[in-house]
Structure 1
Amino acid sequence: MRLTVIGTGYVGAVHAACMAELGHEVLGADIDEERITALAAGRPPFFEPGLAGMLKRSVDSGRLRFTTSLAEAARFGDTHFVCVQTPQRPDSDEADLRHVHGAVEGLAPHLPGGGHPLVVGKSTVPVGTASRIAARLRTVVPAAEVAWNPEFLREGCAVQDTLRPERVVAGVDSAHAEARLRQIYTPLLEAEVPFIATDTATAELVKLASNSFLATKISFINAMAEICEAAGADVITLARAMGTDSRIGPRFLAPGLGFGGSCLPKDIRAFAARAEQLGLGESVAFLREIDAVNTRQRRHTVDLAERLVGGSFADRCVAVLGAAFKPRSDDVRDSPALAVADAIHRRGARVRIHDPEAIDNARAAYPALQFALDVTKACEQADVVLHVTEWPQYRELDPVALASVVRTPAIVDARHTLDPETWRAAGWALRAPGRPRLG
């Protein structure tokens, strides 16, 4: 089939490459000329494992092309995936839908009058958005339909999550739209991926409800970490014991610095804001506390580090291991790691940051901070080290060798992935949220 993908950011670029990998002819469209030029040359504009090879393969085969023209995209095929960003509005917690509406309104005048063009939203939007877009679109193209097919991508695993997702959710208003989406995703359905057809409002809510539930689990275990720390208990053992209960499960019960990135924080805020518009703010009032607990973890990590350096960061050198909001990504949007680094810098410390992939993005976002391309350089003469993004290579660090370059062997393991006994045996004082003092 011939498909277009409107918006070639994180979701769009991955979706376009994966649809071409499944055998479709795909045209990606974006107003960012520099990004389109890079993608057309087979170069992804961000780091995502597995994407670069797939992108180049699809471009070289001719199955994947890119354009800056919405008119060309409208003529290319009859199914158009809208994958633009929906950030938080600068003046409220609501989702900013300018890019979604702009993409549809830019596409609509160029859609052919004949046939049945299908506009498929993948962006995360407030419930009710699809129905409003459909009403506006039909005033321009009466035969056009709108469906909603939310993405459930995890950065660092996005290619896998697209080619072998846990489910495909299709919010549709007609059997025709459902049949077309089933045809597009035939290779996935043949691999027995569940296909859940529903109305557009439910499809919109599936994404928001899922993200809210995951955020709730993360903040719940971090709230328990606060209790554990005050009571002298161990949150890691607590989480392991809870996770053995099949009703609860172990996933997302990982205490630490909390969540960040471009999805969970803004999605739970937008969900709460939309519920309030519907007169149901009390039903999801807990999401405000989930957000507050998450933000509190960042302040708590800063406070732990400050206590380790004697109560003041003035004239102290601090090494920060991690800049991306999660491993296997170079995304620094709402990064807890960088929020912590910046807070420590503002309290008077000299901060040096290392990250395997995100240095360039982090430097652009926080030009006042210092960065190092080598872990050892980042830790030279450090009074305290913070482990804030759980890259696998940080787990493999030799604490004995690292102790020889720091000024003081003290570390805050904000992600709970370092072996405390090994580090303590090497002479390090280790602090971790929700755990007894080690060293």
Structure 2
Amino acid sequence: MSTRIVVIGTGYLGATHAACMADLGHEVLGVDVDPSKLAKLEAGEVPFWEPGLPEVLTRNIEAGRLRFTASYAEAAEFGDVFFLAVGTPQRKGEFAADVTYVDSVIENLAPLISGPAVIFGKSTVPVGTAARLGARARELSPAGDQLEVAWNPEFLREGHAVQDTLHPDRLVLGVDRDRLGRAEDVAREVYATLLGEGIPFLVTDLATAELVKTSANAFLATKISFINAISEVCEAAGADVTVLADAIGHDDRIGRKFLNAGIGFGGGCLPKDIRAFMARAGELGADQALTFLREVDTINMRRRTAMVDVVREQVGTLLGARVAVLGCAFKPDSDDVRDSPALNVAGQLQLQGAGVSVFDPKAMDNSRTLFPTLGYSASTLEACRGADVVLVLTEWREFRDLVPADLDGVVREKRIVDGRNCLDPELWRNAGWTYRGLGRP
């Protein structure tokens, strides 16, 4: 059954959700205040790199199921199902999340809604936000209590966002228990195709739905920082963290996913979300509950400094050393450089006197915008030409597939530092290279 859906915010989350909802057969209107972003999307161009999304976007624009606007009035007239998908960045100078954009949507949209409607929040927000927004929306809207705010958090992995939207491992819906209305029924209509696949559908209260998302991110961040802390012990003891992770990962209570030691996590979600979670717990008087996340964050940031120390140890002095950096996106299959450990390491090396040459298959433009003073190359070989040391900092397939013969005649010194433990140490050592992994002997 087709529903007329409005998706507000056409960034990474919103553009993906809008295109995928249209792919499920719904009529979708995307809303954004950025005219250049809208122009790109209307032309079938995705303003960021996400595998498979351009095809879904183009297919649904051409089918007439998906279009875009900057007008809230048009959006309010078009739909009675609204998805709120704007950003919640970290507040400047604080740990807390900035919910300005979320508040702005309610302030602009709610007064224009005159009939029964549901606003589904998808953005990651501090617990308590949904209830506050619901009260404000009812206050502003001519529809009053017939305008509902529910929360339907996203669990997208960059690089797999289309798959995660169309075939998620679970759907979570938080509803206002004090005024049960149509939200659950509407969600079941919107997601009928997914529910037909047997995807688990968990209906809960608003606060639990908000906490599901932040808790999932906090757990993943903790798991990554745990293995990186163990990696530091392995370094001191001469043990191999990758074999250790394989061994403990066979325990199904632990699992192998996210037990990859290296230079740590980054991106637009995990770092700012665990900080916002700590800040919100403090506001609620539960600050002691999440003090461990401060250490998780500290371990993660320490990995970047440790990487710089490893490079210095390899070349003797960073002053005048030529360093090739392979990868600047925070993870492969993405052009996102927000809080990227790779880019942070590259910047630190340059500040300490190294000549840095960076290459990434997709994130070069975003990197130049953020770090314009770094040296950028057009290919892996160009980045490695004359290098005293090669660093693999994002585990793109083309870097994982490198063999020593690719670089033998290109570099000045045969040294490689594997910041993601994604290469075969023996292959490189047997070819006469100095190989250095993190947490490996």
Fold-level similarity (TM above 0.5): yes
The equivalent residue for 1:119 is 119
> Is the CA contact (8 Å cut-off) linking 2:107 and 2:140 kept in structure 1?
no
Provide the C-alpha distance between the structure 2 equivalents of 1:398 and 1:349, rounded to a whole number of angstroms: 25
Residue identity in the other structure for 2:66: L
For residues 80-95 of structure 1, the aligned pairs below 5 Å read 80-95=82-97
The equivalent residue for 1:256 is 262
The equivalent residue for 2:192 is 186
The equivalent residue for 2:360 is 355
Is structure 2 residue 399 aligned with structure 1 residue 399?
no
Q: Taking every aligned residue pair, what percent have the same amino acid on both sides?
A: 57
The equivalent residue for 1:99 is 101
Over the residues paired in the alignment, what is the CA RMSD in angstroms?
0.7
Is structure 2 residue 414 aligned with structure 1 residue 409?
yes
Question: How far 1:175 moved relative to its partner?
Answer: 4.6
Question: How far 1:401 moved relative to its partner?
Answer: 2.9
For residues 37-436 of structure 1, the aligned pairs below 5 Å read 37-111=39-113, 113-114=114-115, 116-141=116-141, 142=144, 143-173=146-176, 174-310=180-316, 312-436=317-441
Provide the C-alpha distance between the structure 2 equivalents of 1:351 and 1:75, rounded to a whole number of angstroms: 53
Question: Which structure 1 segments of 5+ residues have no match?
Answer: none
Partner SS, residue 6 of structure 2: strand
Provide the C-alpha distance between the structure 1 equivalents of 2:169 and 2:393, rounded to a whole number of angstroms: 29
Question: How far 1:103 moved relative to its partner?
Answer: 1.1
Provide the C-alpha distance between the structure 1 equivalents of 2:315 and 2:347, rounded to a whole number of angstroms: 17
Question: How far 1:397 moved relative to its partner?
Answer: 1.2
> Is the CA contact (8 Å cut-off) linking 2:231 and 2:241 kept in structure 1?
yes
Residue identity in the other structure for 1:317: R
Provide the C-alpha distance between the structure 2 equivalents of 1:182 and 1:284, rounded to a whole number of angstroms: 34
Provide the C-alpha distance between the structure 1 equivalents of 2:140 and 2:396, rounded to a whole number of angstroms: 49
Question: How far 1:432 moved relative to its partner?
Answer: 1.0
Q: Which moved more, 1:220-229 or 1:139-148?
A: 139-148
Provide the C-alpha distance between the structure 2 equivalents of 1:140 and 1:265, rounded to a whole number of angstroms: 34
CA distances 1:139-159 after superposition (whole Å, capped 9, x unpaired)? 122121100000000000000
Question: How far 1:255 moved relative to its partner?
Answer: 0.6
Provide the C-alpha distance between the structure 2 equivalents of 1:387 and 1:270, rounded to a whole number of angstroms: 30
Residue identity in the other structure for 2:108: G
Partner SS, residue 182 of structure 2: helix
Provide the C-alpha distance between the structure 1 equivalents of 2:84 and 2:70, rounded to a whole number of angstroms: 14
Question: Which structure 2 segments of 5+ residues have no match?
Answer: none
Residue identity in the other structure for 1:45: P
Residue identity in the other structure for 2:208: T
Provide the C-alpha distance between the structure 1 equivalents of 2:77 and 2:312, rounded to a whole number of angstroms: 59
> Is the CA contact (8 Å cut-off) linking 2:49 and 2:362 kept in structure 1?
yes
> Is the CA contact (8 Å cut-off) linking 2:266 and 2:341 kept in structure 1?
yes
Residue identity in the other structure for 1:151: E
Is structure 2 residue 12 aligned with structure 1 residue 10?
yes
Residue identity in the other structure for 1:359: M
> Is the CA contact (8 Å cut-off) linking 2:315 and 2:388 kept in structure 1?
yes
Provide the C-alpha distance between the structure 1 equivalents of 2:236 and 2:350, rounded to a whole number of angstroms: 27
- What TM-score does the superposition give when structure 2 sets the normalisation length? 0.97
Partner SS, residue 37 of structure 1: helix
Residue identity in the other structure for 1:200: L
Provide the C-alpha distance between the structure 2 equivalents of 1:29 and 1:347, rounded to a whole number of angstroms: 44
Is structure 2 residue 24 aligned with structure 1 residue 22?
yes
Partner SS, residue 367 of structure 2: helix
Question: How far 1:87 moved relative to its partner?
Answer: 0.2
Question: How far 1:117 moved relative to its partner?
Answer: 1.2
Runs of 4+ in 1 over 6 A off after TM superposition: none
Provide the C-alpha distance between the structure 2 equivalents of 1:279 and 1:294, rounded to a whole number of angstroms: 26
Provide the C-alpha distance between the structure 2 equivalents of 1:385 and 1:140, rounded to a whole number of angstroms: 58
Count of matched residue pairs: 433
Question: How far 1:400 moved relative to its partner?
Answer: 2.0
Residue identity in the other structure for 2:227: I
- What TM-score does the superposition give when structure 1 sets the normalisation length? 0.98
Provide the C-alpha distance between the structure 2 equivalents of 1:76 and 1:401, rounded to a whole number of angstroms: 56
Provide the C-alpha distance between the structure 2 equivalents of 1:59 and 1:42, rounded to a whole number of angstroms: 7
CA distances 1:117-171 after superposition (whole Å, capped 9, x unpaired)? 1111000000000000011111122121100000000000000000000000000
Provide the C-alpha distance between the structure 1 equivalents of 2:62 and 2:405, rounded to a whole number of angstroms: 48
CA distances 1:315-338 after superposition (whole Å, capped 9, x unpaired)? 111000001000000011000100
Provide the C-alpha distance between the structure 2 equivalents of 1:56 and 1:184, rounded to a whole number of angstroms: 21
Provide the C-alpha distance between the structure 2 equivalents of 1:385 and 1:201, rounded to a whole number of angstroms: 47
Question: How far 1:230 moved relative to its partner?
Answer: 0.5
The equivalent residue for 1:35 is 37
